[in-house]
């Protein structure tokens, strides 16, 4: 009888530990990049996502959201430049993610944890206006992610995205 109780206790401890690990994985913040495969500014960011994915994929869930009607093969082709896994692509045909994130422009980055928006806006300061491109000196997304990794508050929680309007 003592052996059965001991085995049950061990099983319960194992099951609880498994649930804690699973919850810890599921509690990772999500990064959503709202993109348009035809937006010239989105096209200029191809190559930037590979670096973000490589640097932060272990600590954050990263998704590439295409609002509106789009064929999956077009989204996959767009993301292929950055070697993005097709499981990270979301076709938001009904705009549910777009509305939740209050995304209005592509490209736009939105960082969410526990259904709370922690950052929303530009990826970096490369574009300050339409048709005005410069070398980036501030990466708002990386700064926000690094702050989260250090358990520090995000200094800049919102920026005005520059790009193509999301038409709903």
Per-residue model confidence as pLDDT tens digits over 8-33: 444 444 444 443 333 344 589 999 99
The answer to whether 36 and 78 have CB atoms below 8 angstroms apart is no
CA proximity to 121, closest of 130, 133, 110, 129: 110
- Asked if omega into 61 is within 30° of 0 (cis), the reply is no
**In the predicted model, what is the mean pLDDT of residues 78-86?**
88
Of 5 and 125, which is predicted with more confidence? Answer: 125
Going by pLDDT thresholds of 50, 70 and 90, the confidence category of residue 1 is low
Set out the domains of the chain in order of their start, with CATH numbers.
Answer: 28-165 (3.40.30.10)
| pTM exceeding the 0.85 threshold for the entire prediction | no
User: Which residues sit opposite 165 in a β-bridge?
Assistant: 105
């Amino acid at each position: 009888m003592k052996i059965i109780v001991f085995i049950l206790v061990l099983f319960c401890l194992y099951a609880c530990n498994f649930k804690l690990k699973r919850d810890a994985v599921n509690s990772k913040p999500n990064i959503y990049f709202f993109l348009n495969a035809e937006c010239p500014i989105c096209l200029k960011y191809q190559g930037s996502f590979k670096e973000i994915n490589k640097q932060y994929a272990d600590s954050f869930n990263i998704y590439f959201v295409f609002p509106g009607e789009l064929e999956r093969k077009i989204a996959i082709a767009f993301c292929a430049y950055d070697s993005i896994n097709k499981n990270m692509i979301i076709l938001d045909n009904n705009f549910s993610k777009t509305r939740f994130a209050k995304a209005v422009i592509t490209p736009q980055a939105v960082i969410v944890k526990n259904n709370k928006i922690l950052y929303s806006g530009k990826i970096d300061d490369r574009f300050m206006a339409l048709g005005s491109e410069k070398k980036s000196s501030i990466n708002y997304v990386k700064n926000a992610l690094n702050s989260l990794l250090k358990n520090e508050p995000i200094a800049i929680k919102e920026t005005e995205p520059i790009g193509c309007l999301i038409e709903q």
